[in-house]
Structures are given as C-alpha cells and as structure tokens.
C-alpha cells in the first residue's frame, strides 16, 4: 500500500512528539535534580510550540491563548518553584535508584517500545488526526512511570508526574484540540492546583525529614 | 433550567467562601446548613430525574437517574459529616486553632462541592476536571494535621492519585479520538452525544479507553492493585475527612468508571467492560478480605473494608442480571451511610481513648453508652447483617449473580464476603464488648465526648435502616431507571 507524504501538521506533530520523548529519556539520565528541572522546562517549551503549530495549521485561534498560559505555567512557574525548593534544601543529587543509569534506560526503552507498538496494534487509521504522535505520547507516559518508580526522591517523583502530564498534553493537542477552550483551561487550572499541592507537600516533607529522599516514607504499611 | 441543580452547584462554594472569613462558631453553622440544604435539594431531584430522561441547567450541567443515585450518598455524608465535625474537632486555643478551623471548614465545603458537582457535569472531560479537584483539595485535608504520618500518607496519596488521573485523562482523550470517527475532529465530550454515537466508534480504541479508565479512576476508587494509598490516607486523615473519602470520594470515582462502562457497553456489547470490572473487583475483594484479618488500627480496618466494598461493586457490575445492577447502585448509597457511621464511631473512640490501636482499646460499649453500641451496629451493617441497607444490596447482587450463567463468581463472592465479615466483626466486637474493670482504666470516664457525634451517628444508622427495611418507592424507581440506562444497548 503506497503511503502518502505526511502533511505539514502530521509531520511537525510527529517530530515534536519525538523530541518530547527524547527529553523524557534525558530526564531519566540526569543525575542532578536541577538539570532534571531544566529538562522539564525545555520539554514544556516543546509542548507549547506544538500548541502553536496546531493553532496555526488548523486555524484554532483559542489555542494561542492556551499556549501562552501553558508557557507561563509550565516553562516559567513550575521550574522556578521547584528550583527554589532545591536551593532552599541545598540538595542537588538525585536519590539513588535501585538500578544503574544503563539499566534504567534499557527498561525505559522497553516500556516505550511497548507503548508505541500497543497503540499501533489497534490498527486505527484516522484521516483527521495523526496516530503516530499519539503512540509516541503513550510512550512518553510510560517512560515517566519508569522515572517515578525507579527514582527515590520527592523532586524526581513530582517532576515525573509533571512530565507525564506533558505526554498527555501532546496526546490531547494532536487528538483533542477541538475540545472547547474552557475544558483546556480547566485542565491547566487543575495542573496549577496540583503543582501547588506538590510544592506544599515537598516543603512539608523537607521540613519534617530534612531530606528529599523518599526513604523515610516507610512508616505506614500493612 | 433546573434551579435545584444550579443551587447544588453553587451553595457549597458560597459556604466555603463564607467559612473562610467568619469565626469558627459561624462557620460550623454555615457548613451544617449548607450540607443539609444540598442534601434536601438532592432529594428533590429524585422524582424529576425518575420521570425524565435527564434534566439540565445550561450546557455544562446535566443529571440523569445515574447522577442522582451518586448525588444522594455524597450530599448525605456532607450533611452528617458537617454535624460530626463540630463534635469531633478540637483545634488548639489561640491563633493556630483559628487557622486550623478556618482551613478545615473551608476545605470541607470545597471538597464536598467538588464531589457533589462531579455527577452533575455533562461530559467526560468536565467530569475528569471535577475529580482532579477532589484530589487536590482532599490531599490538603489529609495533610492538615501536619504530623510525620499525615505528611507521608498525603505524599503517597497525591502521587498515586495524580498518576491514576493522568491515565484517566489519557482514557478520556482516547474516547475523544474514538468519537472523532463519528463527530469529526471538533466536538465536546457530552454524554448525550457520546451515547448516541457510541455504536459507531472504533472498537479497539474504546476497549483501550475502557481499560485505562478503570485503571485510572480505579486508583482513586481503591481497586487492587492500585489501592495502596488508600489505607494510609484513610487512617491518617482527620476522621471527618476519612468518612468522606471512604463514603463519597470512592463512589465518585466509581461513577466515572460507570460512565465509561455505559459508553463501552453501547459500543462493544456488555461482555468486555464486565470482564474488566470482574478482574479488578475479584483482586480487590481477595486482598481486602485477607488484610481485614490482620489489622490492629481501627481506621485502617475500616479502610480495608472500603476496598472490600469497592470490590463488591465492581464484581456486581460484571453480573448480567439487571437486579444485580440495582443492587450495586443501592450498595453505593448504603455503603456511604454505613461507612460514614462507622468512621464517626471510630472518631468517637479516638477522642475517648486517644488511640486507634485496637489492642489498647477495651470496653468501648461500656464507656461510650451511645456511640459504642452504634459503632457495633454500623460494623454489623457493613458486614451485611439485616435489617441494614447493605444486607439488601448485597442480597440483590448475589441473587443477580446466581441467576448468571457463570454463577461460580457469586459463590466466590459470598465466601470472600464471609471472610471479610469475620475479620471486620471479630476485631471490632472484641474491642467494643470486652468489659474492663474500673480500676484498669484510670482517667477514662463513662460518657460521650460530644452530642454532635451521637446525632451524626444516629442519622447515619437511620438512613441505613431505612434502606434495609423499606427502600422508599421513589428511590427504588430511581435505582431501576439508572440500572436500565446503564445497561441499555442503544
């Protein structure tokens, strides 16, 4: 079956989704928490660019507003909040993980291959929407899970969740950009609230345990 | 435009703002009034939701019979928890205590608002937003006591619930993707639209969305294996919040799962969505029944009982007989009343004995003349003893299961529920009924700690008995309507 060349929209969406996935891998590799946060800021910037691309190619003007909001929140505010916490805590080395970096990357590659092909196996071809970018965004979500599970400090876990949200944003931009703006704004508002709560709890954790490691969190079990 | 609907969506928010700015005495009154008002408003929706296919207020609010079924336990617990909180909370004197009370009551109102509004919203996307709001606010309420244990519980809760909701959002997006086949690339995810077009959605994507939704929202509902935050958060939160988490929040997440179920049934037929729920439900029931046998912490015991009941709900949905679905919906309401009452009783115990450790609590019935016996009754209610509501609902579920071609599941259900009954009632009755001689309990005098606690428990038990002895005709009609809507193929 001959394939038609991808449209500008599909091509750029796929390219940007790949960039988001690569950033996720870089975060998994990063040993310094501050570089992890900077990588997250970069990833969010890439997602914002995707929002602009979608707005321009599909002529959805509201998405420009969404892109602006997401830029302010995810590229500026979230990284700043976390970096301030880091400088306050005077810790920068990520918590030791159960596996070495090479093993973590190998697990993440396996997870992303699984995500990519399991979406591919659904055999959905849509003329209106790019399915490759959708499959990649599922891979991003799975790699974020690997990051959260294997890292043992609260900052990595929080950043892991925020980047998971970036993966879901990519999926939502390529697939559901036709949703009413109010819903998108509500999503962002929710993320903002979640960021505040994560920030508050990270502070409480640091104040109570004097560390960012999750090792003291083993009192409740059974 | 339905005014009651609009009022339910507004009153708790107004109460939240008001409690933030008023002194503690007034904010207690406001919270109780708002709780009772919203509960009554919810009840007034029952006749019209039974008579009409749906009611709406603007494009965003739409309720059908299923929504109202879930509105009832949430608003009931809002009212009773507000009353209970007045008796239970003992904030320290001075500025710190005032700040605590202000945060608590404002948070309680926002939390109840988010749970009450979730079933009123029209569409999967808005529903997701509301459930995310319930997470954000309830995490803060879990952490409000500011102890090491509360901070740990809150961290586990926020991380797991956020990840779960991340997956649930992915499920919502996949559902949108499925719908774009029928509606094109720009539409909203309102129920009317999704249900009317569901039979034309691509099946593979809907299957994926259904599994992701059960996994994602199941995290907040406490389904095994994604339940691990639940016992921690339930045991470390202030007791009023534990009651709301268990009786109302878990049900709200179940409501979201049922909405995906409803759409999936129309697209895929009933077999696939039922099997998914059966797998998660069985896992939850097995694990919870075993954990119930080894708990020492009273609130953890009740938390595992919630996992057990969520498992029963999921299994009940997997039965094909309509009577089982009616049982499941009744179970949601009855569990709310029973678990609320049980947590109120646990709160009374905690206030009296200053511990949750059941090995150190003895003679509860003798020392707490009202709340002690009522806690025992609530636990018997939770274990599906007649004449309480859960007896009726589990009876309907099991009866439906036995008429199913695969009636082994119903048999397994009965066995596991019996194991859970053993664990739950053994420990609590031992704690409550073992008499203690006067000289062995220095400093613990006979008597209730607060009348508000007793009133809240009386209301909860009354609700539970009403549901068990005779389900009011209108409510019964509502349950049957909702069950029919859930299973409708077109």
How far is the C-alpha of B383 from the C-alpha of B338, rounded, in Å? 10
Q: What residues of chain B lie within 8 A of the CB of A197, using their CB?
A: 136, 139-140, 158
Within 10 Å of residue B193's Cβ, how many Cβ atoms? 16
- Residue from A13, A55, A220, A222 whose CB has the most chain B CBs within 10 Å, to mutate: A220
Of B154, B236, B294, the CB nearest to A201: B154
Residue A180, φ and ψ in degrees, nearest 5: -60, 145
Of the ranges A151-155, A204-208, B108-112, B400-404, which is most confident?
Answer: B108-112
Average pLDDT value over all residues in chain A: 83
Binned at pLDDT 50, 70 and 90, residue A2 comes out as: very low
C-alpha torsion A86→A92→A93→A97, nearest 10: 10
B232 to chain A, any CB pair closer than 8 A? The answer is yes
Q: Is B447 exposed, middle or buried (0-12, 13-18, 19+ CB in 10 A)?
A: exposed
DSSP assignments along B440-469, one per residue? GSTT--SS-S-HHHHHHHHHHHHHHHHHHH
Size of interface A-B (CB pairs under 8 A): 132
pLDDT score of B107: 95
H-run or E-run covering B134: helix B124-142
Nearest to residue B145, comparing CAs of B28, B244, B236?
Answer: B236
Contacts of A172 in chain B (CB under 8 A): 169, 173
A172 part of contact set with chain B, CB < 8 Å: yes
The phi, psi pair for B435, rounded to 5°, reads: -75, 150
Per CB-CB distance under 8 Å, the chain B contacts of A165 are: 166
Q: Cα–Cα–Cα angle for B444, B449, B450, nearest 5°?
A: 170
Q: Is B433 within 8 Å of chain A by CB?
A: no
A149 close contact with B: CB closer than 8 A: no
What is the separation of C-alpha A122 from the centre of its chain, rounded to a whole number of angstroms? Answer: 24
Q: Which of A161, A168, A186 sits opposite B129 (nearest CB)?
A: A186
In terms of CA atoms, which chain A residue is nearest residue B303? A222
Is B160 near chain A, with CB under 8 Å?
A: no
* Residue bearing the bigger pLDDT, B44 or A154: B44
Cite the DSSP H helix spans in A4-100.
8-29, 33-58, 62-70, 78-89
Tokens encoding B297? 């912490």
Chain A residue with Cα closest to B143: A201
Asked if B20 has any chain A CB less than 8 Å from its own CB, the reply is no
- CB A219, CB B231: distance < 8 Å: no
Instruction: Give the rounded distance of the alpha carbon of B217 from its chain centre.
Output: 13
**CB A70 within 8 Å of CB A64:** no
Instruction: Give tens-digit pLDDT for B246-289.
Output: 999 999 999 999 999 999 999 998 999 999 999 999 999 999 99
Put simply, the answer to whether A126 touches B181 (Cβ < 8 Å) is: yes
Per residue in B88-137, pLDDT (tens digit) is 998 778 888 888 999 999 999 999 999 999 999 998 989 999 999 999 99
- B186 contacts in A (CB within 8 Å)? 177-178
Q: Given A119, A129, A205, which is nearest B180 (Cβ)? A: A129
Tokens representing residue B482 in the block: 């909702």
- The proportion of chain B whose per-residue pLDDT surpasses 70, expressed as a percent, equals 98
Q: How confident is the model at residue A6 (pLDDT cuts 50, 70, 90)?
A: low
Compare CB distances from A217 to B152, B204, B236 and report the shortest one's residue.
Answer: B152
Cβ-defined contact of A183 to B235 (cutoff 8 Å): no
Q: Does residue A184 register a pLDDT over 80?
A: no
Neighbour tally for B43: CB within 10 Å: 18
B184–A126 C-beta distance less than 8 A = no
Name the DSSP class of B189. -
pLDDT in tens, chain B (490 residues): 688 999 999 999 999 999 999 888 899 999 999 999 999 999 999 998 888 888 888 888 999 999 999 999 999 999 999 999 999 998 778 888 888 999 999 999 999 999 999 999 998 989 999 999 999 999 999 999 888 899 889 999 999 999 999 999 999 988 988 888 888 777 888 888 899 989 989 888 899 999 999 999 999 999 988 899 999 999 999 999 999 999 999 999 999 999 999 999 999 989 999 999 999 999 999 999 999 998 889 999 999 999 999 999 999 999 988 999 999 999 999 999 999 999 999 999 988 888 888 888 888 888 888 999 999 999 999 999 889 999 999 999 999 999 887 788 889 999 999 999 998 988 888 888 888 776 666 667 788 888 999 999 999 999 999 999 999 999 999 999 999 988 875 5
Q: What is the pLDDT of residues B50-96, one digit of tens each?
A: 888 888 888 889 999 999 999 999 999 999 999 999 999 987 788 88
Distance from C-alpha of B282 to C-alpha of B286, rounded to nearest angstrom: 6
The answer for residues whose C-beta is within 8 angstroms of residue B171's C-beta and 6 or more apart is B208, B209, B210, B212, B213, B216, B260
Helix H or strand E segment including B341: helix B322-353
Task: Say whether residue A220 is in contact with chain B using an 8 A CB cutoff.
Answer: yes
Structure-derived torsion over alpha carbons of residues B70, B74, B79, B80, reported in degrees to the nearest 10 = 110
How does DSSP assign B403-451, residue by residue?
Answer: TSS-THHHHHHHHHHHHHHHHHHHHHHHHHHS---GGGSTT--SS-S-H
């Amino acid at each position: 079956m001959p394939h038609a060349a991808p449209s500008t929209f599909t091509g750029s969406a796929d390219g940007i989704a790949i960039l988001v996935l690569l950033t996720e891998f870089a975060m998994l590799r990063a040993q310094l928490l501050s570089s992890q946060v900077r990588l997250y800021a970069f990833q969010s910037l890439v997602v914002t660019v995707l929002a602009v691309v979608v707005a321009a190619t599909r002529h959805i003007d509201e998405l420009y507003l969404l892109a602006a909001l997401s830029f302010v929140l995810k590229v500026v505010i979230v990284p700043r909040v976390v970096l301030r916490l880091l400088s306050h805590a005077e810790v920068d080395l990520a918590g030791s993980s159960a596996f070495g970096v090479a093993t973590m990357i190998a697990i993440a590659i396996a997870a992303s291959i699984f995500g990519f092909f399991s979406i591919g196996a659904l055999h959905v071809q849509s003329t209106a929407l790019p399915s490759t970018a959708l499959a990649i965004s599922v891979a991003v979500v799975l790699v974020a899970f690997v990051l959260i599970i294997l890292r043992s400090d609260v900052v990595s876990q929080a950043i892991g969740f925020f980047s998971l949200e970036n993966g879901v944003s990519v999926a939502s931009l390529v697939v559901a950009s036709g949703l009413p703006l109010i819903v998108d704004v509500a999503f962002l508002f929710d993320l903002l609230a979640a960021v505040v709560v994560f920030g508050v709890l990270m502070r409480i954790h640091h104040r109570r345990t004097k560390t960012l490691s999750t090792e003291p969190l083993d009192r409740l079990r059974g | 435009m339905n005014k009651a609907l609009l009022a339910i969506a507004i009153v708790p928010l107004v109460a939240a703002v008001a409690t933030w700015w008023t002194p503690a005495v007034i904010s207690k009154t406001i919270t109780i009034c708002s709780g009772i008002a919203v509960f009554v408003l919810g009840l007034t929706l029952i006749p019209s939701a039974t008579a009409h296919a749906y009611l709406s207020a603007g494009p965003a609010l739409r309720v059908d019979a299923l929504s109202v079924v879930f509105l009832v336990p949430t608003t009931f617990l809002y009212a009773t928890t507000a009353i209970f909180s007045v008796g239970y909370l003992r904030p320290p004197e001075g500025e710190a205590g005032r700040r605590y009370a202000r945060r608590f009551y404002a948070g309680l109102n926002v939390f109840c608002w988010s749970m009450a509004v979730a079933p009123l919203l029209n569409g999967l996307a808005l529903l997701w937003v509301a459930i995310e709001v319930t997470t954000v606010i309830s995490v803060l309420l879990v952490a409000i006591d500011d102890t090491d244990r509360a901070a740990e519980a809150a961290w586990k809760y926020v991380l797991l619930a956020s990840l779960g909701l991340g997956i649930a959002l992915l499920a919502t997006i996949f559902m949108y993707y499925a719908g774009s086949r029928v509606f094109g690339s720009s539409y909203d995810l309102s129920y009317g639209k999704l249900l009317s077009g569901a039979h034309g959605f691509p099946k593979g994507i809907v299957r994926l969305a259904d599994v992701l939704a059960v996994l994602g929202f199941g995290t907040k509902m406490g389904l095994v294996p994604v339940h691990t935050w639940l016992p921690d958060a339930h045991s470390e939160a202030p007791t009023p919040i534990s009651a709301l988490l268990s009786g109302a929040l878990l049900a709200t997440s179940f409501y979201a799962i049922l909405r995906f179920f409803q759409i999936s049934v129309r697209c895929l037929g009933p077999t696939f969505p039922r099997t998914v729920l059966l797998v998660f439900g069985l896992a939850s029931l097995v694990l919870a029944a075993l954990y119930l046998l080894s708990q020492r912490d009273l609130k953890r015991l009740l938390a595992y009982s919630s996992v057990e009941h969520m498992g029963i709900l999921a299994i009940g949905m997997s039965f094909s007989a309509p009577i089982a679905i009616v049982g499941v919906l009744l179970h949601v309401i009855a569990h709310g009343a029973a678990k609320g009452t049980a947590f109120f009783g646990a709160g009374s115990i905690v206030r009296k004995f200053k511990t949750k450790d059941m090995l150190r609590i003895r003679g509860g019935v003798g020392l707490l003349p009202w709340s002690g016996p009522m806690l025992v009754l609530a636990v018997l209610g939770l274990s599906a003893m007649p004449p309480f509501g859960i007896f009726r609902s589990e009876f309907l579920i099991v009866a439906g299961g036995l008429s199913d071609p695969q009636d082994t599941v119903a048999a397994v259900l009965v066995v596991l529920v019996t194991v859970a009954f053993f664990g739950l009632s053994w420990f609590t009755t031992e704690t409550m009924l073992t008499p203690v001689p006067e000289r062995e309990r220095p400093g613990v005098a006979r008597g209730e700690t607060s009348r508000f606690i007793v009133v809240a428990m009386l209301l909860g038990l009354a609700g539970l008995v009403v549901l068990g002895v005779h389900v009011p005709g209108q409510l019964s009609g509502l349950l049957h309507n909702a069950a029919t809507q859930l299973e409708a193929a077109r």
